[in-house]
Each structure stands twice: as structure tokens, then as C-alpha cells.
Amino acid sequence: MRKLSQETIKHEIKIGILQAKQLVRLQNKEINERQFISNLITLQETSEVFSDSTHNEHWLEWIEEQLGNKLPNLSSGSFMTALLDIDALLSGIGMEEDIYTEEEYREMVDYHTELYKEYIK
């Protein structure tokens, strides 16, 4: 697996945070499900890592399934928790490989926390 730039990783993290923000908007009835899915697709299309059609097809199916997930946002099995799962995201883009240092990993987790505070809380 090739090592991604910090900019690319930060972009992927921001996509996840912005998708979670859209979920908050849906839950607050600021947008409907159709708008929510459209907004998530628009965000996902900016991904430099998860852009192949097979991944996006499965991702969209997962999003549609999650719309029925009524667990509270802070529950470990909630839609929100899944969207904000930084460890799963970083693992999915290869940050658990030996090509990244612990410091680089920690920096991305800290960046995720900063964005979470800015956009979600």
C-alpha cells in the first residue's frame, strides 16, 4: 500500500465529519432523506481514496440500511458512531501499516477531534 499525504488523509477525515454533520441535519429535520443521501454522495465523490464504483455501491447500500438505525448517536452501534469511527477510517486507508509512525497516526486522530468539535458539537 502506498503512503498517502497528510493532506489526503485530512481530506478523508473531513469527508467523514461532514457526512456526520449531514446526519445531524437529517435528525434535526433540516433536510429529508433524499437530500441527505444526495449530500453524502456529493461529499463521497470528493474522496481520493474511496472513489471506485464498487466501493461506492456498497457504501451507498450501507448508508441506506443505516437510515433505519434508530440507536442514539452516542450508542456504540449507532449510525453516527459508524460515520465518526476514526479507527476504522484510518485502518481503511492503511494508517495501521508500518509505513506510518505512531506520531502521524496520533496527529490524524487529533485532527479528527478538532473537526468533530468544530462541526458536530
DSSP one-letter string for 37-61: HHHHHHHHTT-SSS-SHHHHHHHHH
10-residue block means of pLDDT along the chain (121 residues)? Answer: 91 97 98 97 92 84 96 96 94 84 94 96 76
Residue 50: predicted pLDDT: 85
User: Residue 115 and residue 16: Cα distance in Å, rounded?
Assistant: 10
Residue 75: predicted pLDDT: 96
Lookup: cell for 38 = 444526495
Residue 33: predicted pLDDT: 97
Lookup: cell for 77 = 452501534
Residue 51: predicted pLDDT: 77
> Where in the chain are the domains?
6-119
Other C-beta atoms lying within 10 Å of the C-beta of residue 32: 10
